[in-house]
Amino acid sequence: MVAGLTLLAVGGCERPINRTAERLIRASLPDYLGPAREWKVRVENPWDRTLAGRLRTVEIEGEGVQLRDIVRCARLSLRLADVSYDTRHRQLRHVGRTEFRAEIDQDAVNEYLRRHPPPPDEPVRILNVLIRQGAVHAEATRWLLRREWPFTVVARPELVSSSRLFFSPERMTVVGLPVPLPASVLRWLALRLSEGMDFSTMPFSLRLARFEATAGRFVVEGEVDIAPSLNTALARRTR
């Protein structure tokens, strides 16, 4: 991601040098994290420290980011602090702290479910997902007795590991059906809603610390250990 900071031998004031660093970082983001509608990078640093490979803060923000095997992020933010970079060997020496924040809106969840449909013979279908304060409302149907029965599942997601969200069947409420759904159907719904919410597929080690379901979107926040995977990526780019 920071490959090419060795090229920072630009004269002049602080912003032109930092803009060069920003451009080099931004150019590597699609390969490292994934394609996005737009990537933005901001380096806040004295120009001489940038030339020496020491960056006080690097702020990265992507809009419409398509991560591998994860629901598309409306916004993905990374904030790297106290970065030390070996300009000669093109390796990160140290990253003090990297904060992670991802926002996923309900349109992206519905898009993901449409792109990954269940088998044709599956009797349960999720038609639409609405994200509300603290919960997800999934409008669905179940094929039974030669007709479709509409119902709504209210599911409350939770962090079940440092990198994964899960919709437990024990935290679901079913509205609109005259008879209870079997436990097997609830388990299927839990797995279906949880698809695309496993952040362990990110290229770095992630420790999610906070999760919120708010009006129309999920927000997840935590910290990442970015140096090992980034150095591997840099090594591939410089072979």
* pLDDT over 50 at 67, yes or no: yes
Does residue 189 share a domain with residue 168? yes
Q: Is residue 30 situated within a structural domain?
A: yes
Mean pLDDT along residues 26-52: 88
Q: Is residue 200 situated within a structural domain?
A: no
**pLDDT at residue 235, as a whole number:** 66
Does residue 98 share a domain with residue 19? yes
* pLDDT over 50 at 53, yes or no: yes
The C-alpha atoms of residue 46 and residue 56 are separated, in whole angstroms, by: 8
**pLDDT at residue 2, as a whole number:** 42
Whole-angstrom CA distances from 160 to 136, 149, 173, 211 are 17, 31, 19, 11
**pLDDT at residue 69, as a whole number:** 78
Number of domains in the chain: 2
Does residue 189 share a domain with residue 232? no
Percent of the chain whose pLDDT exceeds 70: 90
Return the structure tokens found at 113. Answer: 């479910």
The C-alpha atoms of residue 239 and residue 229 are separated, in whole angstroms, by: 16
Rg (CA), the chain: 22
Give the range among 42-56, 111-125, 155-169 with minimum mean pLDDT.
Answer: 42-56
Does residue 56 share a domain with residue 94? yes
Does residue 153 share a domain with residue 224? no
Q: Is residue 210 situated within a structural domain?
A: no
* pLDDT over 60 at 3, yes or no: no
State which residues form the domain around 165.
117-194
Q: Is residue 199 situated within a structural domain?
A: no
Q: What angle do CA 37, 199, 63 make, to 5 degrees?
A: 15
Count of positions (residues) in the chain: 239
Does residue 171 share a domain with residue 121? yes
Does residue 85 share a domain with residue 22? yes
Does residue 91 share a domain with residue 15? yes
Q: pLDDT digit string (tens) for 122-168?
A: 999 999 999 999 999 999 999 988 899 999 999 999 999 999 999 99
Q: Is residue 110 situated within a structural domain?
A: no
Q: pLDDT digit string (tens) for 17-35?
A: 788 878 878 888 888 889 9
**pLDDT at residue 1, as a whole number:** 44
**pLDDT at residue 106, as a whole number:** 96
**pLDDT at residue 124, as a whole number:** 94
Mean pLDDT along residues 190-196: 93
214 vs 88 pLDDT, higher one: 214
**pLDDT at residue 44, as a whole number:** 85
**pLDDT at residue 225, as a whole number:** 87
Does residue 99 share a domain with residue 11? yes
Does residue 230 share a domain with residue 172? no
Mean pLDDT along residues 175-193: 92
Does residue 126 share a domain with residue 82? no
